[in-house]
A and B are shown apart, each in its own frame.
Chain A
Amino acid sequence: MLLTELAEKIGGTIVVDNPSANITAAYTSDLLSDVMGHCGEESALITIQNHLNAIAVATLVGNEAIVLCHSRPVPDDMKAAATREGIALVTTPLSQFAASVALQELNPSQK
């Protein structure tokens, strides 16, 4: 899935773009240690963790994009790190549950 398509499905705003993102899965979690343990590559991370460490973890697990729910603001340092690491950032007014439902085709177990 392209980033523009993902953003459209969740009524999202692309804060940091990544036109080459190829998103094939998604994982929803607010516990970064859980993300590290279970989130796969080429995925979008759906979370409320709007801080720098989320980018570090996303880099580690190979995320293509982070979806920040409840329209959480993106701090400048997070934006800069995402740009540097080539990780797209999308904010959405949806909750984690609603965003996950809207992106259900990215559920790895349904493939």
Chain B
Amino acid sequence: MRFDLHIHTCLSPCAELAMGPQEIVARARAAGMDGIAITDHQSAKNAPAVMECARRVGLRCLAGLEVQTAEEVHTLALFDTAEAALALTEHVYAALPKRKNDPDTFGDQPVVTADEDVVEMEGRLLAAGCRLTIPEVARLVYDLGGLYLAAHIDRPAFSVISGLGAVPEGVFDALELSRTAQAAEWERHTAGYALTRASDAHHPGDVSRVWTEAEGEFSVAGLRDIFARRATRLSERITCF
């Protein structure tokens, strides 16, 4: 099976408003994905809508969020159910700065339904880091039965390596490489973790342009087993945009 575990929706201030649930699901299917995960910055509020859309067409979809920790490291929390992802969202919301989102500076943050109707505009500042540290988020994620990944470890900002200098052992289930990273260059930085590659799509054209492949079940338990066996294969990187 092939999967893309890092996709933003229009809720992320930096994502295009065209990243609605139906667009994402259609693009992921067209790219041949068996499973995807929805991971907006600091919130899982659009995960239920994408899961509903995915369910209609038989695409597997995990509910997640990209948590920006106190260390300003981007990490992915992935769950089987929207309820668990929304429970983590409440913890993250409580740890966000009091400042409100300024749509002109950061972008709009619409919460939408599966039919792409706008329910509300999220007013919190999702572009900011929260006060929870990586170990604190990891504890919450594992208590809620989720997977915890370090996002785009190859990037020069907002990655576990740029922020902490190295990948801490025993915290994550797997590490993610961005679409341009050369896997061979990063294998010595993995600290024993499985590697994944994901699109981190913010625009429709980027959805599932890169992916990860493995034999197994697309669920938290299935992926945990795959990661424990380090049985992932990554798609080729993309060098031009």
Q: Point out residues on A near B: beta carbons under 8 Å.
A: 31-33, 36-37, 49-51, 53, 56, 59-60
* In contact, A36 and B72 (Cβ under 8 angstroms): no
Q: What is the bound-complex CA distance between A53 and B99, given in angstroms? A: 16
18 A-B pairs (CB sep. < 8 Å): A31-B129, A32-B72, A32-B129, A33-B128, A33-B129, A36-B97, A36-B99, A36-B128, A49-B157, A50-B157, A51-B156, A53-B127, A53-B157, A53-B158, A56-B106, A56-B127, A60-B99, A60-B102
* In contact, B129 and A37 (Cβ under 8 angstroms): no
B70 within 8 A of A: yes
Q: How many A-B residue pairs have CB under 8 A?
A: 28
* In contact, A37 and B97 (Cβ under 8 angstroms): yes
Q: Point out residues on B near A: beta carbons under 8 Å.
A: 70, 72, 97, 99, 102, 105-106, 127-129, 156-158
Q: What is the bound-complex CA distance between A53 and B155, given in angstroms? A: 14
B16 CB to closest chain A CB, in angstroms?
Answer: 15
Query: Contacts A56-B106, A60-B99, A60-B102 given: A51-B127 contact, CB under 8 Å?
Result: no
* In contact, B70 and A33 (Cβ under 8 angstroms): yes
B104 CB to closest chain A CB, in angstroms?
Answer: 9
Q: Which residue of A lies closest to B106 (CB)?
A: A56
A105 CB to closest chain B CB, in angstroms?
Answer: 29
Q: What is the bound-complex CA distance between A33 and B128, given in angstroms? A: 6
B208 CB to closest chain A CB, in angstroms?
Answer: 23
